[in-house]
């Protein structure tokens, strides 16, 4: 078997993710397929590139050597593709390619952008992995990415990206069945959830590590289920699990959303872009530049950020429990920024 760029990309993904499961999700393939592909690559080279451990995959000495050669090749191919796409985009009309992790602010943000940029082709790509989205921005596959960074688990940000901080620390709330004993409290004590099964999506960058750190600091070691949050909702509703959730989450008839005492779980909300990314959307000259951030994006970026800021504020104020939290904490989100 001859090694191809896709094989090298898979090796880099496994090394970056630290596990075959996470890497497969990032690559958009099944774990068995990726495992088979890795075995074929290793067979063609005649040695193991990763040691399989209980906690994930770690590069062997040969693996480190191969990765040191593979990364520049993968990066070079990404630049080639990016430059080719940019050349094609210049003749195809304005467009803005957005990547995002899950957020209730997305609908309002897209609505505002379409109103601001009539005639611009605006696309959206969702991913549970913020790191995967940032790699796509750096490689030219996306123009901007709206992501969250779990507290204590820094994102791996490629060099050269512009950054704006939307929310320095957003508290993470908890989703409970409506008949859960703690659901009647306006603020839930972490200790009251010690006997519950927690559900977490391990493919979300930093999510499990962040929760494990908080539970450990509280002296708790509850049973943990791993799965996606769509499955989690069905289990929470019948009292089989609880799960962290965004404060903008909307309660249901069978489920409530509550803040945790002292807000031990938190994330930072960030907007990343490539320098010059907004030129392809035809908005490089929009605005006055007064809102341009210290991280370097220009007037066009200021307008895109302002629309995201307004959309997030709208989503936050529509969520009753979060609005109450904002009022208790005298958050500036309660006041619209000056025009």
Query: What are 162-183's pLDDT values in tens digits?
Result: 999 999 999 999 999 999 999 9
Which of 103-107, 134-138, 185-189, 290-294 shows the lowest mean pLDDT across its residues? 290-294
**pLDDT band for position 292 (50/70/90)?**
very low
pLDDT of residue 287: 36
| Structural element, H or E, at residue 131 | helix 130-139
* Mean predicted lDDT score pLDDT of the chain: 87
Burial-class residue 317 by CB neighbours within 10 Å (0-12, 13-18, 19+): middle
Q: Is 220 helix (H, G, I), strand (E, B) or coil?
A: coil
The pLDDT of 290-317, averaged and rounded, is: 74
What's 56's DSSP letter?
A: E
**160 or 228: which leads in pLDDT:** 160
pLDDT of residue 284: 52
d(CA 130, CA 155): 7
User: Is residue 71 within 8 Å of residue 156, measured between CB atoms?
Assistant: no
pLDDT of residue 142: 92
Could you identify the residue written with the tokens 């519950």?
Answer: 196
pLDDT of residue 77: 84
What is the maximal distance between C-alpha atoms in the chain? 63
User: Is residue 287 within 8 Å of residue 102, measured between CB atoms?
Assistant: no
The pLDDT of 121-128, averaged and rounded, is: 92
pLDDT of residue 81: 75
Pair of tokens at residue 79:
């630049």
pLDDT of residue 188: 96
pLDDT of residue 86: 64
* Percent helix, percent strand, percent coil in the chain, to nearest 5: 45, 20, 35
Q: Look at strands 198-200 and 173-177 and give their pairing.
A: unpaired
The pLDDT of 276-282, averaged and rounded, is: 68
Strands (E), 136-253: 144-150, 162-171, 173-177, 198-200, 224-226, 243-245
> Tens digit of pLDDT for each residue in 83-117?
676 666 655 668 899 999 999 999 999 999 999 88
């Amino acid at each position: 078997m001859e090694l191809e760029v896709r094989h090298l990309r898979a090796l880099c993904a496994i090394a970056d993710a630290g596990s075959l499961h996470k890497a497969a999700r990032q690559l958009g393939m099944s774990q068995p397929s990726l495992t088979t592909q890795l075995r074929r690559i290793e067979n063609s080279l005649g040695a193991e590139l990763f040691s399989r451990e209980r906690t994930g995959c770690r590069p062997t000495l040969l693996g480190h050597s191969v990765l040191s050669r593979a990364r520049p090749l993968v990066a070079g191919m990404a630049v080639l593709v990016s430059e080719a796409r940019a050349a094609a985009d210049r003749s195809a009309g304005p467009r803005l390619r957005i990547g995002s992790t899950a957020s209730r602010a997305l609908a309002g943000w897209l609505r505002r952008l379409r109103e601001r940029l009539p005639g611009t082709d605006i696309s959206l790509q969702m991913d549970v992995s913020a790191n995967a989205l940032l790699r796509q921005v750096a490689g030219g596959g996306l123009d901007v990415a709206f992501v969250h960074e779990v507290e204590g688990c820094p994102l791996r940000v490629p060099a050269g990206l512009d950054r704006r901080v939307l929310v320095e620390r957003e508290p993470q709330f908890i989703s409970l069945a409506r008949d859960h004993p703690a659901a009647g409290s306006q603020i839930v004590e972490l200790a009251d959830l010690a006997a519950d099964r927690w559900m977490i999506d391990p493919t979300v960058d930093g999510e499990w590590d962040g929760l494990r750190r908080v539970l450990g600091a509280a002296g708790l070691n509850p049973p943990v289920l791993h799965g996606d949050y769509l499955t989690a909702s069905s289990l929470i509703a019948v009292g089989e699990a609880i799960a962290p959730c965004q404060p903008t989450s909307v309660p249901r008839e069978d489920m409530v959303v509550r803040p945790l005492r002292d807000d031990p779980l938190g994330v930072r909300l960030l907007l990343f872009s490539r320098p010059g990314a907004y030129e392809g959307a035809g908005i490089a000259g929009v605005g006055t530049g007064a809102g341009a951030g210290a991280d370097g994006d220009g007037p066009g970026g200021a307008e895109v950020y302002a629309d995201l800021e307004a959309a997030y504020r709208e989503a936050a104020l529509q969520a009753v429990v979060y609005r109450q939290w904002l009022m208790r904490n005298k958050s500036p989100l309660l006041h619209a920024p000056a025009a």
